[in-house]
Structure 1
């Protein structure tokens, strides 16, 4: 019996001491009262734990200040890796750190988390933070010397550049050597920039060097790098900032070329799939349909069928089905006993498709105004798609007030299939279509409709 009790105590002790704590302090305090901890795996976030955030009063610089703090216990099974503490769903709402079998404590400004984080516990994070501080200062010195010559080629700063280059190289080598047995070693090695040994006098040569050497130190087969935000951040910088043009047409070409370069570096097919999905979601924010289509057609659809996510494809297809540049999703209706379809409608040079409802006060104000205005636009026809629970009120309203329009009844209101296809979540919602039913505008309100049609 005694042996069993001792064994149990040893087991409990090993579990207790096997768990580590992550502590964070946010200054100034925030309103959010929750925090979720994730482990980063590729482009995904895997839930680890969650906790509440409390408010404390502490002395900072000799003054009392209200701060937010949290403490979260890692499970004993937690593996070394990159972790993310999320406290806000939008904007700068998370902070990343490394875990390698040690407690982690830090303080940061919740509005600028990654730029302001200071670690008070965790040798790995403190070492990496010091590396970033030293290497950034050395790189900035080198860059400022280079930029000065690019701005004024008559300056003779060759020796200054060589000295800065030697210092930067020395710092990189020192940290690479010191980090050999540390978790952060791959990040330190991958952070090394390939700077030219001699100062350049041409902006073109400078930019070409950055692009041509950008991936030299990035190892897309290294699992430690893959399972962090490091590579995805580098990919974003390359696609959106390193390859940049103010000319929109040229920018699209640069985006495609950058994507080709990035994907050519990735040999692991599941990871390549994840990066393609990640890039699609990045371009989703800007509604860049050309690049999204390119990513699907040129890369995602060419992955093996077992790797493709059918649900992901359908969701994105539905999300962008009714965006500007797309052919408007088709639907049909009966009008005066005759079956009509949007795709075959051919009685105007352009169309205003408006989703509205007789139960919507904004619609009852804007629809009559639209009706009056459209009399000044003889080449444009209105398709009024009414989202209703039943036909009674709509039938009387459209017969008496909307003569000459194409009036469509959509039952089930927000659950109406066509409304969902067009991503209509409020009424009135406007779409302007050309003769071929291509969506050429999505005005916000009646004034935007007028403004667009008056200009066109």
Structure 2
């Protein structure tokens, strides 16, 4: 019996010993009272734990300052990898670090987390932060000499470049040795830029060399790199910053070539899917429909069907269904006993599609103005889509106020299927369509509708 109890105590002790803590000190204190811990896996973050932020005081210099602190105990089976502590939903409200079988304690200014983070405990993170500071300083020195050479060619620059390049390589070699057998080793190895051996006097040639060799040090199959923000950050830099042009058409072509090159580096189709979805989300922010369509058509749709996320695809395409440049989603209605469809209308060279309601005071003021403005414009037709909770109000109004428009009524108002497709959240909402029903403008109000047609 004694042996059994002793064995149990040793077992419990070993479990306790294998657990590790993540501690954070935020100086000064933040207004929020919580922190969420995620693990970064590919392009996504997976919830691990959450806890309250507590207020404490810390002596800084000669005075005490209020700070926010937290502590999270990781489960004994917590996996090594990149983690993210989030303490605000907007702005600079998170910080990334690495966990690998050791406690992690850090202090930072919550307004500038990446720039101010200091690791008080964690050899891996201390070493990686030190490495980034040293290699960045050496690389910046090399870059400054290269930039100087673009304006002032000479042997001094060549000699200085070789000396600075040697410093970069020596720094890299030192930290690769220090990081050997550590979790951060693949990150250290992949961070080094593939600098050209001789100084370049042509900016165009320099940028082209940069683009050609940009991913040479990166192993896209390495799990440490994949399960951190490292690769996604490099992909974003390559696609959005390294491939840049002031000319819009050239820029679109550069995006396409950059995306093709990035995905060509990734052998795993599962990881390809993650990066494709990441890029689509990035282009979503600028509503770059041409590139989003290009990625779906040339990359996403060519993945094996079992890898494609139909919900993701449907949501993203629906999100931009009514943006300028899209063909307006089709709908049908009955007009004077005849079945009509938006897609087959052919009685004008342009159309104004307006979603309105009899219960909307702005609409009751603007719809008559729209009628007056359009009366002498024979090549422009109005499609007035009334969103009503029930038909009776519209039927009563329409007896004397149809205005000669194509009139459509949609019940259930905001829940109407067509209203949801067009993402209508307010009335009146205007769309200007060409003869092919492509959306060419989205005026905010009646004055914008008038301005659009008056400028022609």
User: What is the Cα deviation at residue 401 of structure 1?
Assistant: 3.3
Give the direction of change, closer, same or farther, for the CA distance of 1:362–1:9 in structure 2 (3 Å limit): farther
1:95 aligns with 2:95: yes
Measured in 2, the distance between the counterparts of 1:454 and 1:30 equals 52
3-state DSSP of counterpart to 1:401: coil
Measured in 2, the distance between the counterparts of 1:34 and 1:430 equals 43
User: What is the Cα deviation at residue 95 of structure 1?
Assistant: 1.3
In the other structure, the counterpart of 2:279 is 279
Question: Which piece of structure 1 moves more, 139-148 or 31-40?
Answer: 31-40
User: What is the Cα deviation at residue 372 of structure 1?
Assistant: 3.8
Give the direction of change, closer, same or farther, for the CA distance of 1:358–1:25 in structure 2 (3 Å limit): farther
Q: CA RMSD in A?
A: 1.9
Check conservation: 1:371, 1:402, Cα contact below 8 A: no
Measured in 1, the distance between the counterparts of 2:90 and 2:159 equals 47
3-state DSSP of counterpart to 1:426: coil
Check conservation: 1:355, 1:386, Cα contact below 8 A: yes
3-state DSSP of counterpart to 1:394: helix
Measured in 2, the distance between the counterparts of 1:251 and 1:103 equals 46
1:333 aligns with 2:333: yes
In the other structure, the counterpart of 1:307 is 307
User: What is the Cα deviation at residue 352 of structure 1?
Assistant: 1.6
1:264 aligns with 2:257: no
In the other structure, the counterpart of 1:222 is 222
1:360 aligns with 2:360: yes
3-state DSSP of counterpart to 2:36: strand
1:393 aligns with 2:393: yes
Give the direction of change, closer, same or farther, for the CA distance of 1:60–1:425 in structure 2 (3 Å limit): farther
Question: Which piece of structure 1 moves more, 171-180 or 194-203?
Answer: 194-203
In the other structure, the counterpart of 2:85 is 85
1:451 aligns with 2:451: yes
Measured in 2, the distance between the counterparts of 1:420 and 1:454 equals 31
Superimposed CA distance per residue, residues 80-138 of structure 1 (whole angstroms, 9 cap, x where no aligned partner): 10111223334433211100011111122333322332211111111000000000011
Aligned residues: 456
3-state DSSP of counterpart to 1:156: helix
Question: Which piece of structure 1 moves more, 223-232 or 441-450?
Answer: 441-450
What is the TM-score with the length of structure 2 in the denominator?
0.95
Measured in 2, the distance between the counterparts of 1:323 and 1:411 equals 24
Give the direction of change, closer, same or farther, for the CA distance of 1:225–1:399 in structure 2 (3 Å limit): same
Superposition map of 1:3-402 within 5 A:
3-153=3-153, 156-375=156-375, 377-402=377-402
Check conservation: 2:50, 2:72, Cα contact below 8 A: yes
User: What is the Cα deviation at residue 70 of structure 1?
Assistant: 2.2
Q: Name structure 1 gaps, 5 residues minimum.
A: none
Check conservation: 2:273, 2:300, Cα contact below 8 A: yes
User: What is the Cα deviation at residue 154 of structure 1?
Assistant: 5.3
What is the TM-score with the length of structure 1 in the denominator?
0.95
Question: Which piece of structure 1 moves more, 409-418 or 180-189?
Answer: 409-418
Q: Name structure 2 gaps, 5 residues minimum.
A: none
Give the direction of change, closer, same or farther, for the CA distance of 1:348–1:79 in structure 2 (3 Å limit): same
